[in-house]
Amino acid sequence: MTLHRALTGSLLLALLCGCVVVEERRMPATGDAWSAAEEEKSLSDEDKLLEAIDDDDENPKLWFLLGDLYESQGRYQDAVLAFQRMKELINTQHPDRKFTAGDYHLGRVFALMKDYQRAVAYLGNVLSSQPKDPGEASLNKHYRESHYLLAVIYYNTKQYDDALEHAKAFKETGGEELRGDSLIMSVRHAKENRTRDG
């Protein structure tokens, strides 16, 4: 995983938690030119992917890349369609194996859309195949990241016991100490405040 991707994922999850406030700032004079250049690059990337898909629409990796691009652009409905196609292709091409990528990416996009019911369903599908041994489970990042997303979702919906359970499972399956501890502290703090205020 690249540093950019890790930071982007962490920032998106922090936004989901409400831990980060985003303030839009434009660079003077060059801001519009910069935005136009970024948009042109994104369109170029999208065009290249769509062209590649036209040539090989049975390739799940191309559909993943398209979904990932759409997700990074905030085009969540388009990302859902691309990730659904990726999942369908993987399941068709490998019916005897259980893959977690499709369910994980769909769950993540639905979490970003705050469609928590569907997010929980897809992330639950990922965890249904998680090995009992935390060491073995740590070999697949989708397990730990599903726990993290579920912890955030349950935190946002004030289901603190479930949030705490998944935050701990995130750490047990190889999640980063800092992310796990921060989430656990946030959940405990919110739970204490609810008890004190309630």
Q: Summarize pLDDT for 48-95 with one digit per residue, the tens.
A: 999 999 999 999 999 999 999 999 999 999 999 999 999 999 999 999
* Last-in-domain residue among 77, 97, 117: 97
- Using the predicted structure, report yes or no on whether residue 137 has a pLDDT greater than 90: yes
Determine the average pLDDT of the residues in 95-122: 98
Residue ranges making up the domain that contains 172: 103-198
- pLDDT score at 69: 97
- 140 assigned to some structural domain: yes
pLDDT grade, residue 32 (50/70/90)? Answer: low
pLDDT grade, residue 44 (50/70/90)? Answer: confident
Determine the average pLDDT of the residues in 133-150: 97
- pLDDT score at 20: 38
The answer to whether residues 128 and 91 belong to one domain is no
* Last-in-domain residue among 78, 97, 116: 97
CA dihedral (30, 11, 99, 107) positive or negative? negative
- Say how far apart CA 34 and CA 38 lie, in whole Å: 6
- pLDDT score at 33: 58
pLDDT grade, residue 24 (50/70/90)? Answer: very low
The answer to whether residues 75 and 114 belong to one domain is no
CB of 70 closer than 8 Å to CB of 76:
yes
Number of domains in the chain: 2
Helical H runs in the chain?
3-17, 31-55, 60-72, 76-93, 101-112, 116-127, 134-137, 141-156, 160-172, 177-197
- pLDDT score at 27: 39
- 132 assigned to some structural domain: yes
- 197 assigned to some structural domain: yes
